Structure 1
Amino acid sequence: MANVDLNASAKELWPQVLMNTYGTPQLELVSGDGATVTDSQGNTHIDLLAGIAVNALGHRHPAIIEAVTAQISSLGHVSNLFASKPVVTAAAKIIDRFSGGDAEVADKTRVFFCNSGAEANEAAFKIARLTGKRRILAAEHGFHGRTMGSLAMTGQPDKRAAFEPMPMGVEFYPFGDIDYLRKQVAINPTDTAAIILEPIQGETGVVPAPEGFLAAVRKLCDENDILFIVDEVQTGIGRTGDFYAHQHEGVRPDVVTMAKGLGGGLPIGATLAYGKAAELMTPGKHGTTFGGNPVACAAANAVLDTIDDEFVAEVKAKGELFEKLLADVQGVESVRGRGLMLGVVLDKPVAKEAVAHAFEYGLILNAPSDKVLRLTPPLVISGEEIREAVARIAKLLAAVA
């Protein structure tokens, strides 16, 4: 190929052939196993990011390998003009975890498959519009994706600015402030279609909603005939120690969006709608060519079969172990979040510097802000790996402090 030497490393080739959307990565990874990855120099690292909460079962999980291999060996992509068993099976399992086994709830719930969290939230945006109302209330600092509809609901002005004008009708409220939200709804309750939020804001620095906030929003929506949309793209599929994070408060949203961990590494997203929200999408209103791909759904089935109630309880225990050990690390001010979605708040603004040097300590880390390290490791990480990871984090923070 002209001007491109394919014998060069992926890191060297990256800026030559890819748009400058992410900058050039610091590291080239070549393999992974469980919660460990290996770089092109043969160094191993404990993966505390999991592809940004995507690799729920880690790398090379046998259930995913077996399911995907079997499916691609028999039937690949078919589009939504045809039915296939992996698709309906995955939808049924997602509904079952949402309904808690309640047959009446399950009967009123439907799923739309897509390819990412942004697309799942785009579908939720359209469902809100199909109510005939125009106002969507979204939380400040929230993140719902990069497509235009999902970006319009993202409460981070710096991400929206370059792409203005956004789709109309979205207004923002302070995350966790139910009194402000009540007053905002009261301005025009009959034209308010939906309230959307993340149970834990991940991109802002792993900020959980205050205890009781989701229940209060659910009540507010019921009182004013408003759809309650919960973005579980990062928090769902067992990540927080509940299968869905909204289950911690015992609430049932009208719409739930999910992606990331659902495919265990394969691209898949889903928008679940319950009750009247499940009836709003009709033929011709929405679609996606690759959504509900049988291979991606086969991977999702493997994930859903593996992450059972016992597995989710283990995730909660692993999160508690992380929190306990991190509390004793010099430089750690506090730890917030739930399960294996944790924000390590530092006493100095050195998080980004720590991430840059983490490879030297055999760690893959992420910093959503200057004072916060985000930990979203594979849910299969072991207690021994957690202890070793915290020991390495302690050494890393001592070095950058």
Structure 2
Amino acid sequence: MSQVSPSATPGHAGGDLLDAGAASLTERFEAAFMPNYGVPPAVLVRGEGCHVWDADGRRYLDLIAGIAVSSLGHGHPALVRAVSEQAAALAHSSNLFINEPEVLLAERLLGLLKVPGRVFLANSGTEANEAALKLAVKHARATGRKYYVAAENGFHGRTLGALSLTGKAAIRDQFGPFPLDVRFVPYGDADALKQAVTGDCAAVFLEPTQGEAGVVPPPDGYFTAARQICDATGALLVLDEIQSAIGRTGHWFAHQHDGIVPDVLTLAKGLGGGLPIGACVGFGQAGTLFAKGDHGSTFGGNPVSAAAALAVLGTIERDGLLAHVRELGDRLAEGIASLDHPLLSGVRGRGLWRAIVLTGDHAAQIQAAAQRAGFLVNAVQPDAIRLAPPLVITEEQVDAFLGALPAILSEVAG
């Protein structure tokens, strides 16, 4: 896979950032921004392939890819070319006019899904979930349904609508009460789901794997059961694939592992390869619930973001990256599972979306130790490290991390 040279990387426009240095930029960040993110641990100025560099010139192997966003890594020629050419041709049109890239993208997504449907394009995952929720509300009002079901520890976004579906009390409760009646059930418990979903339930919102909970996959048969429960009661099955889609698990969409079709599907993150984009896809009647004026977005369907998404999808297909993700994901998981270390409990996930499961709450220390060793990982939970590298990661890069992991763990244990 070809890579651009550092001199051709757009990050080189940040030469002044290199001169400023990480310490100065960190202080300026803290002074200028609201404190909702705290202070991030590094200032990144450029990337090439699966590596990024910070403002002090240190290089890191990027094993988080902007939270499963940078599907093709950094500076991939196909993405750079698509964005550059589209920005020069037409950077914005709004929803008052049609642009060709948005139409091509909607058609491409439906072609990959192989099911008739309709697409709404947004700017982010939480906006895609807001669109899905509004579809569910329309379904509820048309059918007299009263409540919604979601999973404990699920994450669907931070806007008030999406947050109402998010089953994490620490980030949800302080912003309640919410206008919708959402009932939470244990993730992966089909019996609990069946008891919760009645003829009064408008929709069930689930992630095919719970990402922010620590890359927690469902038990076998759970989504087949969820589909059957929704079919029996008339509730919509809404699948949040913000993190899990676009090849991340080795299929185009994670629900394809289970051979089911949802009523509504939401996408974002890896779809744009680094450009902001989200999508809500409705199948069957769910695709035509919106009437003119029911929903909208000024930037949704932006031609530059749509061109980027088309480049991502085209490159994944052309370069055989789905098979590559399955192969490299297995290599990564098997390498972690083979390690015998007192801090290591196991590994879970699919494809190039894995969690290193720890025996205690050591994740933050391990993230810091990994960064010192030249690897960027994510302490997604106190006892779990999330790995979501670019889909173009190589065997040598996977092996480099596996070779360094024992010493990283031992540094923390020591």
Do they superpose with TM above 0.5? yes
- Indicate yes or no: 2:296 matched with 1:287: yes
Q: Which amino acid in structure 2 is aligned with residue 342 of structure 1?
A: R
Q: Show the counterpart of 2:378.
A: 366
TM-score, scaled to structure 1: 0.94
Deviation of residue 16 (structure 1)?
A: 1.1
Counterpart of 2:246 (choices 237, 240, 247) is 237
Give the whole-Å Cα distance in 1 for the aligned partners of 2:195 and 2:221.
18
- Indicate yes or no: 2:148 matched with 1:136: yes
SS in 2 for 1:206: coil
Q: Which amino acid in structure 2 is aligned with residue 399 of structure 1?
A: E
Q: Show the counterpart of 1:320.
A: 330
- Indicate yes or no: 2:96 matched with 1:84: no
Which segment is superposed worse, 68-77 or 8-17? 8-17
- Indicate yes or no: 2:85 matched with 1:70: yes
* Structure 1: stretches of 5+ with no match in the other structure: 1-5, 100-104
Give the whole-Å Cα distance in 1 for the aligned partners of 2:195 and 2:128.
29
Counterpart of 1:126 (choices 134, 137, 162) is 134
Counterpart of 1:339 (choices 348, 351, 360) is 351
| Deviating 4+ runs (over 4 angstroms) | none
User: Does the aligned pair in 2 maintain the 1:235–1:244 contact within 8 Å?
Assistant: yes
User: Does the aligned pair in 2 maintain the 1:363–1:392 contact within 8 Å?
Assistant: no
Give the whole-Å Cα distance in 2 for the aligned partners of 1:185 and 1:298.
40
SS in 2 for 1:208: coil
What RMSD, in angstroms, separates the aligned Cα atoms of the two structures? 1.3
Deviations 1:270-295 (A, max 9, x none): 00110010010111111111101000
User: Does the aligned pair in 1 maintain the 2:263–2:283 contact within 8 Å?
Assistant: yes
SS in 1 for 2:242: coil
- Indicate yes or no: 2:72 matched with 1:57: yes
The count of corresponding residues between Structure 1 and Structure 2 is 386
Q: Show the counterpart of 2:123.
A: 115
Task: Note the 1:292-311 alignment, pairs <5 A.
Answer: 292-308=301-317, 310-311=320-321
SS in 1 for 2:338: coil
Give the whole-Å Cα distance in 2 for the aligned partners of 1:278 and 1:370.
39
Q: Show the counterpart of 1:251.
A: 260
Q: Show the counterpart of 2:157.
A: 145
Q: Show the counterpart of 2:58.
A: 43
Deviation of residue 169 (structure 1)?
A: 1.7
Task: Note the 1:147-166 alignment, pairs <5 A.
Answer: 147-166=159-178
* Structure 2: stretches of 5+ with no match in the other structure: 1-18
- Indicate yes or no: 2:197 matched with 1:185: yes
TM-score, scaled to structure 2: 0.91
User: Does the aligned pair in 2 maintain the 1:148–1:167 contact within 8 Å?
Assistant: no
Give the whole-Å Cα distance in 2 for the aligned partners of 1:257 and 1:168.
20
Q: Which amino acid in structure 2 is aligned with residue 156 of structure 1?
A: K
User: Does the aligned pair in 2 maintain the 1:342–1:374 contact within 8 Å?
Assistant: yes
Deviations 1:284-312 (A, max 9, x none): 11111110100000000001111228311
Q: Show the counterpart of 1:388.
A: 400
Q: Which amino acid in structure 2 is aligned with residue 210 of structure 1?
A: P
